[in-house]
Amino acid sequence: MTRTDWRNGWLEGIAHIPSPNFGPRPEGARIDLAVIHSISLPPGEYGGDEIERLFTNTLEWTAHPYFEQIRGLEVSAHFVIRRDGRIQQFVSVLDRAWHAGRSSWCGRDNCNDYAIGIELEGLEDHPFDRPQYDALVDLLARIDAQWPLAGVTGHEHVAPGRKRDPGSAFDWATMRARMGWGERVRFPTHVAAG
């Protein structure tokens, strides 16, 4: 992995689906956190284009009863990892995606300012698929090579009580072991080491 994997914050070799839902990071912001999320639209259904439509503000709100609950929502993440391991990018890593909302990590508020948001296609507390973990390991390694990470955490950890994703089925211990970063990169502390 080299710096040539990236062009203006976009990872080469994956699908780019630009979202209008982003803004500038604060001047001098150090990008050093990855926040893992889960998403499926409608909840528990996989493989459709609804996530892309939500992130590009083209979701048909009347297409499913659940969509009425999120009508008008303008959100994004930098990356989505589909069930089969395909990675899609919606926002340049150099920009601020709208994924964490009110959040705090290690005493630093507003995680969107310095974090990279990675959505796994899935539902809180439901197991993720092996290709997703394989893709996540590769993606985190590529991010870390360009923007050294201080931490990898879940949405539930930066917004406790407000968010539950990626949920109890996410295998933090195995992810930590597979990354091989030791103590250099901080993972959630309430999970057992792999």
> 3-179 adopts what CATH topology?
Lysozyme-like (3.40.80)
Catalytic residue among 50, 119, 121, 156: 119
Tokens of 24: 């500038």
**In whole angstroms, what is the distance from residue 190 CA to residue 174 CA?**
14
Domain boundaries, the chain: 3-179
- Taking only the tens place, the pLDDT of each residue in 93-137 is 999 999 999 999 999 999 999 999 999 999 999 999 999 999 999
**In whole angstroms, what is the distance from residue 130 CA to residue 150 CA?**
25
52 belongs to the catalytic site? no
Tokens of 66: 């659940």
Angle (nearest 5°) at CA 59 between 10 and 43 = 90
- Taking only the tens place, the pLDDT of each residue in 51-85 is 999 999 999 999 999 999 999 999 999 999 999 99
pLDDT value of position 4: 66
**In whole angstroms, what is the distance from residue 59 CA to residue 51 CA?**
8
